[in-house]
Amino acid sequence: MPNRSEIVSAVEDYVNHLGNHDVDKLVALFADEALQHEPLGVKTYSGIDEIRAFDTANAQVDFTVSLLGPITVTGKYAAMQLRVQRAGMADFATTDLFEFDENCKIVSLSVVLDPQALC
């Protein structure tokens, strides 16, 4: 199992690649059979191809992200909050929960998106 510093590094890479709209590097963080629930309870992307398609479409949207606080880690799980900034919209927060496999690849990502959670 990856240690805390490896997981924190992977989440930091996720934030950087998401913010830079680098789909290839972003998708490389996921295991082949990963699940991405975004937003949680609304849509699930299953497997690397569906995740890549979602991230490719998402990369066309002009937004920036930054961490709102520390990355928290328990075992193979990590959580963090992001500030999302997009022109013409009020800033808002997301809370992201990650599960990692033994190779420190994301096997599950759940994004709680709340446009009313203003930053």
The domains of the chain are located at: 4-114
pTM of the prediction? 0.95
What is the distance, to the nearest Å, from the Cα of residue 19 to the centroid of all Cα atoms in its chain? 10
What integer pLDDT is reported at residue 43 of this predicted model?
97
* Closest listed residue to residue 105, CA positions, set 26, 37, 19: 26
Strand partners, 15: none
What CATH number was assigned to the domain covering residues 4-114?
Answer: 3.10.450.50
Q: What is the pLDDT of residue 119?
A: 55
Give the model's pLDDT for residue 115.
85
Instruction: Give the span between the Cα atoms of 40 and 37, in whole angstroms.
Output: 5
Q: How high is the pLDDT of residue 76?
A: 98
Which residues of the chain fall below pLDDT 50? none
